[in-house]
Amino acid sequence: MALPMRKSRLFYSLGIYFKFHLKLRVSYHDSVRVRFAPSPTGMLHLGGLRTALFNYLFAKSKNGNFVLRIEDTDQTRKVPKAVEKLEDVLQWTGIVPDESPTVGGPYGPYLQSERRSLYEKSVETLLKSGHCYHCFCTERRLEMLRKDAAKRGEPPRYDNKCRYLTEEEVNENLEQNIQSVIRFKYEPLESAWTDLVYGLMHEKSVGESLEGDFIVMKTDGFPTYHFANVVDDHYMKISHVLRGEEWTISTPKHLQMYKAFGWEPPAYAHLPLIVNSDGTKLSKRQGDITVEYFREQNYDPNAILNYLTTVSGAFKESTEGKTLGEMISMFSLDNVTSHPARLQPEKLKPLNGHHLRRQFHGEQKQQIVNKTQEMVQKHYMERVANSHVLDLSYIEHILTWALVSRISHLEDLLSNSLNFIWVIPDQEKVKSALFKDKNSETMIKGTIDKLNIVHTFKEAPLKETLMCFCKEQGFKTKHYMTALRNCLSEQKEGPPVAEMMEMLGKQETLKRLQSASDSLNTGQT
Ligand code: GLU
């Protein structure tokens, strides 16, 4: 009995601590300012999109600002046009930054490569205060240290040799233009910090840094990620850092630098990993993890966002079918858990269906109809040229039917089983299939007669008429339906025959049955 009591008291105290601590952090900054800070090293992946999305939702739910900062200090990993593509794909998702390289803003420039003078000035401050020093170790020496560590089975570690150079030695080396980097004097972080997702953290819990004093300015004069990241978050007045869990390990370094500068750090929230449904890590080799891939597949951007949010906690209610705008008030950082978020690929299509239906039954109806027309025209080319299937009213009729439950993606309308909607069946194929059944002619001719007198060309009465005729004639239902399906679509599978007839309408249905009947009279194939 005593243990649970003690445990609950501990949680209670921690809760008070968190609340107090967080309140302090938030009130320190006047307003919420968050940033998405990708490196332009390739396409935007689902993990990056989730980070951008959560930053955006957090900012908007707090009337704050969402900043896009490009971290391009690693010149060797820069990919041409990556920034443009990134901004473009973010625009497509609707996650539009308030400040960015393109939009500009009061704390620009927003490309780190254009902020070098700020980093130079900032590193001077730390050199003067003794938190940083010049390191003249050659690549050869560093390589030797790495090899020695490997021999001992230890992780590579800089031995901090240049930390102890005298001022004269440093000046002499600088005068002789000996190449140098600038390192930060790293000391293990004594105090704990609060991560808004992971709770109370300590350097030991994230894995103590064993690499020795780390580099902040490289030989090419560019800052390292850690340094530029801290300097920019400070000068851009970032109040909360929401980023992927893989950066947790860097946080002690960042906090040390804040301490050295005498700056208040932002609040940190690390977001759990996004993994495959079987728990394995997403790999760059997987084709289906770039946002561009889903865009090319013609998915609705909101469906992609739902795909991420339905697995990510952070929402009180289900986000299925919700738009980006609607998700703002549903988002709460308090609900984000530290469990990895497992993607559920089978959910993506139904999620897309939600948005397609919503658009079709809302203001974007005309756009969807036009898009379908364009898609059908492009796909079937001359097979549909000048045909009634391109009439907007016909397309609207098809969409109304298909969107109830048949399709979740416009491209589904091009599947084999729905070909009949757009193209007339190939009479040679129809004929050769019908010849397999000796009753074909009686079946088709009799059906034509029956359908001619059906008044309401709707699924239910059609089904009844067909079934009555089938029974009356003693046909096997399966054989009869296969023959009719064949006349209408040349396919073996598809929607129920009566439903197909309703879709095609009386005139087109009778026309197809008649063509099939005529083809039977033109001899064996
Ligand atoms: N540039 C880092 C990245 O590519 C940003 C990490 C951070 O948000 O601090 O993800």
| Number of domains making up the chain | 3
- One-letter amino acid at 361 equals H
Question: Where would I find the H helices in 178-219?
Answer: 203-206
- Is residue 5 assigned to a domain? no
- Is residue 280 assigned to a domain? no
Collapsed DSSP state (helix, strand, coil) of residue 148: helix
What pLDDT score was predicted for residue 523?
57
Give DSSP secondary structure letters for 35-56: EE---SSSPPBHHHHHHHHHHH
- The answer on 269 and 128 residing in a single domain is yes
The verdict on the CB of residue 247 being under 6 Å from ligand 1 is: yes
- The answer on 170 and 83 residing in a single domain is yes
For residue 81 the two structure tokens come to: 């046009």
What pLDDT score was predicted for residue 314?
78
- Is residue 291 assigned to a domain? no
Of the three residues 230, 249, 273, the one that is the final residue of a domain is: 273
- The answer on 467 and 368 residing in a single domain is no
The verdict on the CB of residue 47 being under 6 Å from ligand 1 is: no
- The answer on 375 and 412 residing in a single domain is yes
What pLDDT score was predicted for residue 44?
95
- Is residue 308 assigned to a domain? no
Q: Which CATH number do you get for residue 468?
A: 1.10.10.350
What pLDDT score was predicted for residue 377?
95
Q: What is the pTM of this model?
A: 0.86
- The answer on 380 and 268 residing in a single domain is no
The verdict on the CB of residue 55 being under 6 Å from ligand 1 is: no
Q: Which CATH number do you get for residue 104?
A: 3.40.50.620
Mutate to test the pocket of ligand 1, among 34, 229, 240 (most ligand atoms within 8 A of CB): 229
Contacts of range 412-418, beta carbons closer than 8 Å, 24 or more positions apart: 413/372, 413/375, 413/376, 414/375, 414/376, 414/379, 416/491, 416/493, 417/489, 417/491, 417/493, 417/494, 417/495, 418/494, 418/495
- The answer on 244 and 132 residing in a single domain is yes
Distance in angstroms (rounded) separating the CA atoms of residues 126 and 343: 44
Determine the distance separating the centroid of ligand 1 and the alpha carbon of 38, expressed in angstroms: 5
For residue 40 the two structure tokens come to: 């332009």
- The answer on 397 and 266 residing in a single domain is no
- Is residue 117 assigned to a domain? yes
Of the three residues 401, 421, 441, the one that is the final residue of a domain is: 421
What burial class does residue 404 get, using C-beta atoms within 10 Å of its C-beta: 0-12 exposed, 13-18 middle, 19+ buried? exposed
Distance in angstroms (rounded) separating the CA atoms of residues 117 and 97: 25
| Residues paired with residue 217 on neighbouring β-strands, in sequence order | 182, 223
- Strands 199-201 and 193-195 come out as antiparallel
8 A C-beta contact, residue 434 and residue 516: yes
Determine the distance separating the centroid of ligand 1 and the alpha carbon of 341, expressed in angstroms: 19
Ligand 1 nearest atom to the CA of residue 229, by list position: 9
Collapsed DSSP state (helix, strand, coil) of residue 268: strand
Nearest to 58 by CA among 355, 266, 353: 266
- Is residue 207 assigned to a domain? yes
Of the three residues 372, 401, 421, the one that is the final residue of a domain is: 421
- Is residue 365 assigned to a domain? yes
pLDDT tens-place values along the chain, 525 residues long? 333 333 334 443 444 444 444 444 444 457 999 999 999 998 999 999 999 999 999 999 999 999 999 999 998 888 889 999 999 999 999 999 999 999 999 999 999 999 999 999 999 999 999 999 999 999 999 999 999 999 999 989 999 999 999 999 999 999 999 999 999 999 988 889 999 999 999 988 887 777 899 999 999 999 999 999 999 999 999 999 999 999 999 999 999 999 999 999 999 999 999 999 999 998 877 778 899 999 998 899 999 999 999 887 778 889 999 999 999 999 999 999 999 999 999 999 999 999 999 999 999 999 999 999 999 999 999 888 778 899 999 999 999 999 998 999 999 999 999 999 999 999 999 998 888 888 899 999 999 999 999 989 999 999 999 999 999 999 999 999 999 999 999 988 889 999 999 999 999 999 999 999 998 887 554
- Is residue 212 assigned to a domain? yes
- The answer on 431 and 396 residing in a single domain is no
- Structural domain range at position 156: 29-273
What pLDDT score was predicted for residue 435?
85
Determine the distance separating the centroid of ligand 1 and the alpha carbon of 508, expressed in angstroms: 59
Collapsed DSSP state (helix, strand, coil) of residue 390: helix
Collapsed DSSP state (helix, strand, coil) of residue 204: helix
- The answer on 209 and 76 residing in a single domain is yes
- The answer on 197 and 169 residing in a single domain is yes
Task: Give the Å distances, CA to CA, from 440 to 402, 445, 480, 490.
Answer: 30, 9, 8, 14
Q: Output the residue whose Cα is nearest ligand 1's atom 6.
A: 37
CA angle 248, 253, 255 (to 5 degrees): 90
The verdict on the CB of residue 243 being under 6 Å from ligand 1 is: yes
Mutate to test the pocket of ligand 1, among 115, 230, 243, 249 (most ligand atoms within 8 A of CB): 243
- Strands 193-195 and 240-244 come out as unpaired
- One-letter amino acid at 5 equals M
Distance in angstroms (rounded) separating the CA atoms of residues 295 and 24: 42
Angle between helices 427-434 and 477-489 (to 10 degrees): 170
Q: Tell how far CA 476 is from the center of its chain.
A: 50
The verdict on the CB of residue 224 being under 6 Å from ligand 1 is: no
- The answer on 223 and 165 residing in a single domain is yes
Q: What are phi and psi of 491, to 5 degrees?
A: -110, 160
- The answer on 436 and 408 residing in a single domain is no
For residues 161-172, one letter each, b for 16 or more C-beta atoms within 10 angstroms of the residue's C-beta and e for the rest, the string is: ebeebeeeebee
Determine the distance separating the centroid of ligand 1 and the alpha carbon of 338, expressed in angstroms: 19
Residue 111, phi-psi category: left (phi > 0), alpha (psi -120 to 50), beta (remainder): beta
